[in-house]
Every structure is written in C-alpha cells, then in structure tokens.
C-alpha cells in the first residue's frame, strides 16, 4: 500500500513538472513569436522607407537627364547654339583617302 502511495506521489509530481515545463515552453514560444513579429514589422517599415527614397532618387535621375538640363550644362561649358549648317561636297566617291608621302 505504501509503495502504491509513493508511486502515485511520484506520478503526480511528474505530471505537475510536465505541466510546468510545457507552460514555460509555451510562454517562451509566445514571447519569441512576439519578438520576431516586432522585428518583421520594423524591417518592413525600413523597406517601405527605402522604396520611397528609391523612387525619389529615380525621379531625380530622370530630371537630371532632362534635355533642358543637358542644354544648360552645354551652355556652362561655353558652347553656342548651332545656326545654319554648311556642308562640304567632296569630289568623287571617296570621303577619306589614304595619303602616302
């Protein structure tokens, strides 16, 4: 009888220990999932911010490639606008000839 009572106490202690261990594991998993969820949302916010910055940079690049900007840069270099173009007519079919001296 005493042996049976000891076995039931051991069994009860084992069940209580298992419940405590499983509860601890559950709490750990829930806190870990919360931490990962927070990190994911923070990284997603950074991604959205970088996408906005990227689109702004693309817009800036396209504005810098604008023809008006190119014309302004050409004027800054000291070049003038082309007026009437005169073409030379080369005699014959050859445009470039190799000359040997």
- The mean predicted confidence, pLDDT, of the chain is 84
pLDDT at residue 15, rounded to an integer: 96
pLDDT, tens digit, 9 for 90 and up, residues 46-71: 999 999 999 988 888 777 776 667 77
Look up the pTM and report it: 0.47
DSSP state of 78: T
Q: What is the domain partition of the chain in residue ranges?
A: 2-64
Whole-angstrom distance, CA of residue 63 vs CA of residue 56:
11
Token couple for 101: 């001296």
Residues contacting 63, CB < 8 A, separation 6+: 69
Residue bearing the bigger pLDDT, 69 or 23: 23
Residues contacting 69, CB < 8 A, separation 6+: 63
pLDDT at residue 99, rounded to an integer: 66
Per-residue pLDDT at 89 exceeds 90: no
């Amino acid at each position: 009888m005493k042996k049976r009572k000891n076995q039931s106490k051991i069994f009860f202690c084992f069940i209580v220990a298992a419940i405590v261990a499983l509860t601890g594991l559950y709490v750990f998993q829930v806190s870990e999932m919360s931490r990962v969820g927070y990190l994911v949302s923070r990284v997603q916010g950074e991604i959205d911010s970088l996408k906005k910055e990227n689109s702004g940079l693309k817009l800036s690049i396209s504005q810098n490639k604008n023809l008006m900007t190119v014309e302004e840069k050409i004027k800054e270099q000291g070049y003038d606008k082309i007026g009437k173009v005169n073409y030379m007519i080369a005699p014959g079919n050859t445009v470039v000839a190799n000359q040997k001296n």
